[in-house]
Every structure is written in structure tokens, then in C-alpha cells.
A and B are shown apart, each in its own frame.
Chain A
């Protein structure tokens, strides 16, 4: 199946989910999202950092410089408790949206 475009506003949810799996640097987050979405949701590099900075600015992500798997200096992002709560909230909203849309799409003339 070919990659699809991200729905507006969903990049924050994906970044929070990716970071919740373990501290990661910017490029690593990009790869992790591609990996966990099985390649369906490639992230534009131009949208990654504004989203990361926005989440950091809101206090959902904390940062720390460290050494990457490539033995390079990199800035690692971790989830803060507020970030964890935000992830829960966004996930629950998302699941409601999906459930709603799925139910709507399965509707038949008989179900009316």
C-alpha cells in the first residue's frame, strides 16, 4: 500500500507516541514513526522540528544532549508527565474519531 498523507494535527500524536517508546533524537523520531506506522506515514523533514519545538514549548517533551547509536552528539527528546497525559488524551480523542468515522462508513440503508 502506498504512503498516505498525514491528517492535519496528527503529527503531534505520532511524535508523542514515538518518544513514549523511549528517548530519541530528531532524526531517530522520524525513522521510528516510519517504522511503527509500517511505512504508511512518512514525515516531511520540514514539519518535524517545528512540531518538536512546539511540543517542547508546551512542556510535553524534555531534552538532553547525549551520544547516538552512530556515536554522534545528538539532542534526545523524552516524554514528560504532562506529555504522557497529553498522549493519553489525544489517543482517546483519536480513537473516538476513528470509531465514529468507522461506524459512519459501515452504515447501510438498512441500518437507518
Chain B
């Protein structure tokens, strides 16, 4: 043990007192030489001869020391320390270039990390704060379901209760349904959820800020109680803990607040009010009877029991679902079960759409990484080139290739690590700030990076370090010792470094061009939105955003409900017209998609809306050809039903051919015939893509259609009047009227902010790429100061010096610029094609290209001319002395 301790002490001393260790080695060798000289002297040699002979016998002291150092176990640490010192010296000699390298890598890794972190939080994990591994979502689809205003994947109460009783693979299970509940007349509805009383166990443990969470008894006793959220507590009760015990009036009922929930991650992330689902009937939202066809449908989430897997849960749920299918009330029903981890990407049908969006984003990130890497590599190559004499000397003195590679690699690794650490800090802080700025409200779910994000950052940092180290190491190892040490003349001053150099410059300029184009296109987006003419009367159309319980069939069903609603709303002062539809024409998530086949046999997927006859009139959309729908077109059950297409859709489907009378096949037995062509309903943000539209007649008895009102002045109190009318006349119905213009503004604002955020990031990165180009060219020029000094001293004119400095760089930079702009054009066109279905942004914008090319040309010209000017201003005598 003592020996080990003393050994550790010795190692520590050698590591931290290197000078003392070296001194001790010197003393020992000196002592050895003296003893040997004493011996030789005793054999009759004169002292000075004996000392010389001892030295000769011993050999080179430095070589002996190096051999002695090599056997030490701390040698590795010593080398590491030497490498770090070398890296620090290198960074100190090129502070500007090193700063650009670190900043470029930080932004490259940081932006990728932030985007990855946001994507990961939004798409790849369940919205839970604890133990995501045990969280499980169960989604069911029923063969007897018709499309309607339900919640896809939700389970009727009867089935939920059967599952809750019968499953053993879940430790806890909950069901919930979102609702919009109005706390006072005329106020905006509060996002709420009707939940089973185990909700907070599955999403928790959630510790209340005040009071308590829901308990099993609350559901069984039908107690009129609610838990409110942090935001509602602060806005409605000023954050007073006395709010617990106070009452809320909801749909004419008194509900007592029993607790205040903190902000926590959950699928009902925006909700601020949680009530037992058994209050549905007292709140006039629908029956509580599980056997009723209008029973509540609940989304089902749970926590796996210890040792259970999602496979176990799936098997169990499937057995119970099959049993439920055999019940008398469910004849002919077949249930399909989906069990997943609760992430969006795992939701049925989401994988392909989300996957393609993610693919586009990752291609963008790859572009960014390419530019950042090219920029960093070219700067490090330039630095390595400037050090080639030093490296050649080290090689001549015996430093092996691995040693030199380690030295250069440490420098790249150090720069990449600093960048990686800074990027990690950004990734920790930025996603929430960015997302909250884009959506303009607090984000109520966890965005904390998980191990996936840190693994991504680590891999990216290491990849950056490897990419950054590879080229400089290879360039130094390929050095021709003799020519480098003899300083063989290089007529281009190192500017002509072959295809790799030109390729790097091209990639860098190309990447900078792409990023500049993106920057200009995205920052011009707000102006394009503001200047684009609205094509329908969005400011005078109110979308009612209505929610209503299913009306009883004996009372006339949905048809009667729609008739009553239309009559009542038409009577409200200020309302000029009422129409019903599944969606507004632009930016509405409720817009459907219909696959149609033209007579030529070509398939198209068109956005589609079911509308009542007055829709075009209410929205102020002209009908260019043919006719609008009539009441006779409603509930069409014929083999061929009428349809109206937008002008853009007509162009897309039939080009210049007259669209009227054209047939669109839906399936083997159903088809549409075009009876009218409507004006394109592009809004301020909508470009032609969104003007594609297929209108079909509504089926007023099939489901709830959203009412749209044409109003004189949306600010005249009509909003309050129609809102009150709905809640007074229709039990359980809640409306949240808003002008279509205001709803579109939410989308345009979000797009604007996304545009600004992405534009800012792209601008910074493009700027860094330009700085990189400048850094490389300037460094190459600085090394030629001596040559220029000689030329000036020999009588060269300033013009000659300019030409000598600029000429070698013109070709690679011009090639880079041309290749870059071609690359940017191809990328932008391809990005437009890929993104066309999702985003109304055009990157292939001639102004953007012109701006980007000009900016780059200016940057490159400055990068060449500034060092050239410095060379011509230099005093030859001073420059030559310095070298």
C-alpha cells in the first residue's frame, strides 16, 4: 500500500512539478558522468580527458532523457499537456481566425442542436415530465365510425370503463377529453379538460400549488369540483392561495375550486381547468350514461405496470376490445388497437407527414453543417499552411507523424470542444425562448434536452472536430521536408493549393449563397405578406368556432340544429348572411383532402371543403364560371354529385380546357361533376398552392358544420351578441367568434416570426461564412507581405503589387461564386418543390439571388483588396526586418 501511495505521490509530483523532475534527471546524469570520470581518472586519465571520455561513452544526454521520458506512464499526460500548450499557442497566434472557427462551429452545432431539441420535444417524445419510458397511449379506431366531430383515437366511455377494469399491464390509466368552457358570458372560452380522476397520477406526480388534485371519490360522487391551472390562477385570482374553495360559474353550474395545478407537461398542455368527466351531464355537455350513443369519448393514456411492456398492453387491450365488440349494442363493430409511446411521430398516420417535414429540416441542417465545416476547414488549412516550416522542422528533429497529428488534432478538438460546450448551453436555453416567441405564449410542456439531444451534440461536436482536424493533419503530413525547409519559391503565395482548396472555397461560397438567399427570401416574407392583396373579405367574416353536443335525433338532429342556428343568427343585428362549412378556405386544420382522378386518369389530392349554398356569398368569393350550389345539391347521395373548383385547381387539373362539366372520379361508384369555378381564395399568406380547392355540397344532417357570418362591422358588438345568443338558445353549445382575418393573422404572425428567426440564424451563419472567406484570403495575403516588400524595394509599382496580390485569388473565387450560385439555385428550386405543400415561402426569388450574389462579390472583393492595400502601404524596410 505504501509503495502504491509513494508511487502515486511521485506521479503527481512529476505531473505538476515537471521542472523539478527534469532537474532531478539532469542531476542524476551529471552524477553518473562524474562517477564514471572518477573511475577513469583512477585508471590514470587526466580529469578533463576522463570527463570527455565519460560523456562520449554515455552518448547524447538529450537522447537519453527522451528515452527515459518515453518509459514513464505519465508520458501520455505530458504529451497532452504539450499538445494543449501547442494548441493554446496556435490559438494565440491566430486569435481572429480561431474566434471565427469557434463562432462558426458554435452556431453550426448550436443551431442544429436547438432545432433537433425542439423537434425531439415536439415529435419524438410524449409530453410528460417523469418516466417517459412507462408512459403509453392507447388509440382505437372502430369500423363503424363515420367521420364526424369526434376525437380520432378516443374511446367511448363504455369501452374505457371496460379497459380500466380489465387491464393488468397498466399501473394507472386515465381518459380525458378537451372542452372549451366559458367562465363568464362573452369571455373567451377557457381551454379545459374533462378527465377521469386518475389523470394527475398518470401525468404526475403533480404537486398542487395550493389545495389538492382530483381523487377517485370526486368522479364517483359527481362532486362539482375543479382543479385550475397556474395561468388561470394568476390571471383570474391574482395568484391568491385563497382561490381554493371559491366557486366558478360554468354553464349555469357552480363549481368549487379544490386545487391549483402547477405548470406541468401533459397532452392537454394548454388546458387551465380540469373537471371530473362525470360533470359532463350537469354541465349540459352530454349524457353520462356509458350506453348512450352520445357518451363521452376519452383519449386513453396510462403508465405501464412494473415489468409490463407495450406489447403486453396491446395484447390485453385487443382481447378486451374484441370482447366489447361482441356486446349486443356493438354488432358488426370491429376495433383496431394502436399502442404507442405517446409521441407525435408514433401516432397512426403521422409518421409519413412528420417524417418528410423532419427530412427537409435535416437536409437544411446538413447544408448548414457543410458550410460551417467548409469554412472551418479552410481557415484551419490556411493556419496549417502558415505553420508548415515549423512542422517541417519538428519532423526533421524526429517528431513522428502520430505526434504531429496529435498536436494538430488537439487544437481542432479544443476549438470544437469550446464550441460544443457553448452550443450545449444555447441548446439548453434557446428552444423555450424561441418557441415561446414564435407562438407568443408560454409553452406548458418540457423542452429540457434529454439524452438524445446530448448524444446528438456530442456526436456533432466530435464529427466537427474530426472534420476540422482531418484536412490540416493530412496537409502537414504530406509536407515535402526538403522543399519546405529550403523555402522553395511559391509563385502564388500559397493561393494555388489545388482542387481541394478550390472545392472548399466553392462549397463555402455556395453555402453562403444559399444562406444569403434564404435570409433575403425569409426577411422579405413579412413585406410580401403585408403587400399581398386579400382575395376574400376576411375582415367581415366571423368564424363562429362552435362546439355543441349532438342533438337528439327525435328533435330533428343536426339538420334542425343548423336550421335553428341559421335563423337565430340571421336575426342578430349586424349579421348580413350565414353560411355553413367544414372549414374556412385558408389555413384551416379542418380542411379535408380528397383524392380525385381526372378523365385523363391522372390522380390529384385536393384540399376540400363541404359548404352550404351561401358560402361563396358570405365569404365574398366570386364565382367566375357556372353556378354555386343550391339547397337541392345538399345531402347528395347520387352516383355523380356536383362540385365547384377554384380557378387554380381548374388550371392544375385541366390546364386551358373548360372545366365545366368535367368529371372527377372518387371511387368505382362515385364521381363529381364540375358545375362552377370559384375565385381563388388566397389570403394574405396564401400563395397559389393554398388556392387549390375542391368544394362539395354539405350534408346538413351528418355532422356539425361551422357557421360563418357575414357582418357589417366586426367591432360593433356583434361578436358579443352572437356569442350570448348561442349559449342562451342552444344548451351546451359554446361559440368563440373571431374574424377570419384575426385567425389568419395568428398564422401569418407565426410565419413572420419563424421567417425572422430562421432569417436571423441564416444571416449570422452567412456572415460567418463570409468572415471565413475573408479570414482565409487575408491570411494568405499576409504571408506574402515579405515578397511584396521585396517587389516594392526592387521598384515595383503599387499597381503591380495589387495585381500580384489579387490575381492568384480571382480564379478560385470566381469559380466558387459561379458554382455557389448554381448550387444555390438548384437547392432553392428543390427546397421550394419539397416545401410547397407545407409552407407558403418561396426561396427561388430573383431579387434574393441578385442580392446574395452582390453581397458575396462585395465581400470577396473586400477580402482581396484590403490585404492588398496593406501590402502596398507597407514600408519595405520594416516588412523585411519583421520577417
CA distance A108 to B63 in the complex (A): 48
**Which chain B residues lie closer than 8 Å to A10 at the CB level?**
none
Q: Judge whether B59 and A45 touch: CB under 8 Å.
A: yes
Would you give the 0/1 interface string for A63-101, flagging 1 where the beta carbon is closer than 8 Å to chain B? 000001010111100001110000000000000000000
B141 at the binding interface (Cβ < 8 Å): no
Q: Judge whether A59 and B4 touch: CB under 8 Å.
A: yes
**Which chain B residues lie closer than 8 Å to A74 at the CB level?**
28, 31, 35
A17 at the binding interface (Cβ < 8 Å): no
Q: Judge whether B36 and A27 touch: CB under 8 Å.
A: yes
**Stretch in contact with the other chain, from B66-74, B157-165, B347-355:** B66-74
B597 to chain A, nearest CB (A): 81
**Which chain A residues lie closer than 8 Å to B73 at the CB level?**
57
Q: B67 touches which one: A46, A57, A72 (CB < 8 A)?
A: A46
CA distance A49 to B31 in the complex (A): 13
**Which chain B residues lie closer than 8 Å to A80 at the CB level?**
3
CA distance A29 to B35 in the complex (A): 12
> B residues 125-143 with Cβ under 8 Å of A?
none
Q: Judge whether A49 and B67 touch: CB under 8 Å.
A: yes
Least CB separation from A54: chain B residue: B71
**Which chain B residues lie closer than 8 Å to A49 at the CB level?**
28-29, 64, 67-68
Q: Judge whether A75 and B71 touch: CB under 8 Å.
A: no
Q: Judge whether A75 and B3 touch: CB under 8 Å.
A: no
Would you give the 0/1 interface string for B20-44, flagging 1 where the beta carbon is closer than 8 Å to chain A? 0000100111011011101000000
B627 at the binding interface (Cβ < 8 Å): no
CA distance A44 to B29 in the complex (A): 14
CA distance A82 to B6 in the complex (A): 12
Least CB separation from A25: chain B residue: B31
CA distance A99 to B232 in the complex (A): 91
Q: Judge whether B4 and A72 touch: CB under 8 Å.
A: no
**Which chain A residues lie closer than 8 Å to B7 at the CB level?**
57, 59
**Which chain B residues lie closer than 8 Å to A68 at the CB level?**
31, 35
Q: B68 touches which one: A53, A62, A75 (CB < 8 A)?
A: A53
B654 at the binding interface (Cβ < 8 Å): no
Q: Judge whether B64 and A81 touch: CB under 8 Å.
A: no
Task: Describe A's contact surface by its main secondary structure.
Answer: helix
**Which chain B residues lie closer than 8 Å to A26 at the CB level?**
28, 31-32
**Which chain B residues lie closer than 8 Å to A25 at the CB level?**
31-32, 35
B48 at the binding interface (Cβ < 8 Å): no
Q: Judge whether A75 and B31 touch: CB under 8 Å.
A: yes
CA distance A80 to B3 in the complex (A): 7
Q: B38 touches which one: A53, A59, A70, A75 (CB < 8 A)?
A: A70
**Which chain B residues lie closer than 8 Å to A53 at the CB level?**
68, 71-72
**Which chain B residues lie closer than 8 Å to A46 at the CB level?**
58-59, 63-64, 67
CA distance A25 to B72 in the complex (A): 19
Q: Judge whether A50 and B71 touch: CB under 8 Å.
A: yes
B873 at the binding interface (Cβ < 8 Å): no
**Which chain A residues lie closer than 8 Å to B57 at the CB level?**
45
CA distance A74 to B28 in the complex (A): 7
Least CB separation from A26: chain B residue: B32
CA distance A54 to B357 in the complex (A): 60
B795 to chain A, nearest CB (A): 58
Q: Judge whether A72 and B35 touch: CB under 8 Å.
A: yes
A109 to chain B, nearest CB (A): 46
A28 at the binding interface (Cβ < 8 Å): yes
Least CB separation from B63: chain A residue: A46
Residues A28 and B68 in contact in the complex (CB < 8 Å), given A45-B57, A45-B58, A45-B59: no
A104 to chain B, nearest CB (A): 33
Residues A70 and B35 in contact in the complex (CB < 8 Å), given A75-B24, A75-B28: yes
Q: A81 touches which one: B3, B31, B35 (CB < 8 A)?
A: B3
Residues A73 and B3 in contact in the complex (CB < 8 Å), given A46-B64, A57-B71: no
B229 to chain A, nearest CB (A): 65
CA distance A64 to B706 in the complex (A): 95
CA distance A57 to B3 in the complex (A): 11
B604 to chain A, nearest CB (A): 78
**Which chain A residues lie closer than 8 Å to B4 at the CB level?**
59
Q: Judge whether A50 and B67 touch: CB under 8 Å.
A: yes
**Which chain B residues lie closer than 8 Å to A59 at the CB level?**
3-4, 6-7
Q: Judge whether A27 and B71 touch: CB under 8 Å.
A: no
CA distance A25 to B39 in the complex (A): 15
A83 to chain B, nearest CB (A): 8
B132 to chain A, nearest CB (A): 49
CA distance A43 to B12 in the complex (A): 31
CA distance A80 to B10 in the complex (A): 14
**Which chain A residues lie closer than 8 Å to B70 at the CB level?**
50
Q: Judge whether A27 and B31 touch: CB under 8 Å.
A: yes
Would you give the 0/1 interface string for B47-86, flagging 1 where the beta carbon is closer than 8 Å to chain A? 0000000000111000110011011110000000000000
**Which chain B residues lie closer than 8 Å to A27 at the CB level?**
31-32, 35-36
- Scoring A25, A57, A73 by chain B CB atoms within 10 A of each residue's CB, the highest score goes to A57
CA distance A70 to B57 in the complex (A): 20
A86 to chain B, nearest CB (A): 11
**Which chain A residues lie closer than 8 Å to B3 at the CB level?**
59, 62, 80-82
Question: What is B's interface to A at a CB cutoff of 8 Å?
Answer: 3-4, 6-7, 10, 24, 27-29, 31-32, 34-36, 38, 57-59, 63-64, 67-68, 70-73
Q: Given contact pairs A27-B31, A49-B29, A59-B4, enumerate 11 new A-B contacts (beta carbons under 8 Å).
A: A45-B59, A46-B63, A46-B67, A53-B71, A56-B10, A57-B71, A70-B34, A70-B35, A72-B35, A72-B38, A80-B3
9 closest Cβ contacts across the A-B interface?
A: A27-B35, A54-B71, A59-B7, A80-B3, A74-B31, A27-B32, A50-B67, A50-B71, A75-B28
